[in-house]
Amino acid sequence: MRVMAIDYGDQHTGVAFSDLTGSIAGEAFTVDEWNQERLADKLSGLCRERGAERIVLGYPVNMDGSAGPRAEKSLALAALLRDNTGLEVIMWDERRTTVDAHRILSENGRRTRRHKKNVDAVAATLILEAYLGSLRLS
């Protein structure tokens, strides 16, 4: 089962796909779109093109576990994706993924000002890896 993971952002949205077996993270990239409806259409198209059977969407809760405005935007995107694809959208706690993505890129010699587009793709990969890891544990 191929899984698509999403790190939703206002300008750049990170996307990562698992391999066909849903075992490991495969390709990752960013989609540049600020309009939520157009973004949902693009993501739905990618989902169909690559044969994803499940969507995991980063859910940006605050460190204390409360939901803020970003979480509400993610829930709205999830509803659009469900409507467009008919697939289940799993909301995944994404706390610290962006911080970890910056750290990973820095440790691998990427300069900070060139991080922006890559950070979202790496964050989507971290969300995907955490989700796939949880499946192996259950």
Q: Quick: pLDDT tens for 52-97.
A: 999 999 999 877 888 888 899 999 999 999 999 999 999 998 877 7
Q: What is the pLDDT of residue 103?
A: 72
- Say if residue 55 is exposed, middle or buried (CB neighbours under 10 Å; 0-12, 13-18, 19+): buried
**Where does residue 67 fall: left (phi above 0), alpha (psi -120 to 50 degrees), or beta otherwise?**
beta
Binning pLDDT at 50, 70 and 90, where does residue 16 land?
A: very high
Pairing of strands 52-59, 2-7: parallel
Q: What is the pLDDT of residue 69?
A: 86
Q: What is the pLDDT of residue 37?
A: 97
- Tell me the residue type at 48: R
Q: Quick: pLDDT tens for 18-35.
A: 999 999 999 999 999 999
Domain spanning 2-137: which superfamily? Answer: YqgF/RNase H-like domain (3.30.420.140)
- Tell me the residue type at 60: P
Is residue 102 over pLDDT 70? no
Q: How far apart are CA 135 and CA 37, in angstroms?
A: 30
First to last CA, the chain: 16
Backbone angles phi, psi at 89, to 5 degrees: -115, 115
Is 40 in contact with 61 (CB distance < 8 Å)? Answer: no
Q: Name the pTM for this structure.
A: 0.89
The DSSP annotation for 92-138 comes to EE-TTHHHHHHHHHHHTT--GGGHHHHHHHHHHHHHHHHHHHHHHH-
